[in-house]
Each structure stands twice: as C-alpha cells, then as structure tokens.
Amino acid sequence: MFVNNVTGVEPTGLKAGQRAPFTVDAKGAGDGELDVFVEGPQGEEKVDVKNNGDGTYSCIYYPGKFGKYVVNVTWSSVQVPNSPFNVKVAPAVDASRIKAYGPGLERGKGFYPFVSFSVLILHLSTNFGLLALTHERV
C-alpha cells in the first residue's frame, strides 16, 4: 500500500485555500477499510474520499489557513507507510492587492541619500506574511 499523486501530502508547496489532492493505492493490501484524518491549525479538516473501484482511493482536502497540517492515513487502523504526513501550508498570496508608490519609486533620481515611498496593503486578514524591501546601491 502506498500514497501517490502527493500534492496534498508533500512537506511544502501547498498554499492556504488551495486544493490538496492525493491518491491511496491499496491494491494488494487485502480486505480493509481506509481512514484519512487531517488535523490543521483550526482542528480537524474535512477530507473527501472516493473509492475508485480499482483498489485506489482519491482523497482531497482544502486547508483553509496557513500552518502545520498532519495527514493520517490508516488501513484497518494501521498507519500506511510514511503516515502521518507533515504538511506545511503557506499563506495565500495576492500581490495584486499591494501598491507601492512615491517619489523614490517614480522619478528614478539617483544620488539622493533619502527618498521616500509608501507601500499600501489593500486587504488585511488573519493570514499574514512578510513584506520584504531591499535597497541596492549602483
């Protein structure tokens, strides 16, 4: 038995609000019952499990918040290989909601020791991230 198509159980690369699909292949595992539980920052997450009728199961969950998720996959109450899977979900990012402006960005004048500019974040939510600013001298 193994878990493949592992977008939903990879350690990184998943963003909040993004679908997290994976497939459990139980061919040759014998008669049993599949159980999948996902625990995230807000508690247990709903997981849709579909029996494909060929010994495989399509599973999907939708992590709603960034943070650490633990995906437990068991066959007849026994953890499958590599389960539990630890998944780090990154915040959802929409850079189009951020505006940067000001004389330090618009005129492009060089050799001034101080220039100003503003960064306006158009939407505040409980999902937060990092805003990084860099300055390079040429």
The domain 2-90 having CATH identifier 2.60.40.10: the answer here is yes
pLDDT at 34 over 90: yes
Are 72 and 8 in contact by the 8 Å Cβ rule? The answer is: no
Beta-carbon contacts of residue 66 (< 8 Å; ≥ 6 apart): 15, 16, 41, 89, 90, 91, 92, 127
- C-beta separation of 135 from 104 below 8 A: no
Mean pLDDT across 127-137: 55
**Tens digit of each residue's pLDDT (9 = 90 or more) over 77-130:** 999 988 999 999 988 877 777 777 776 666 655 666 665 566 655 555 555 555
Residue type, 51: N
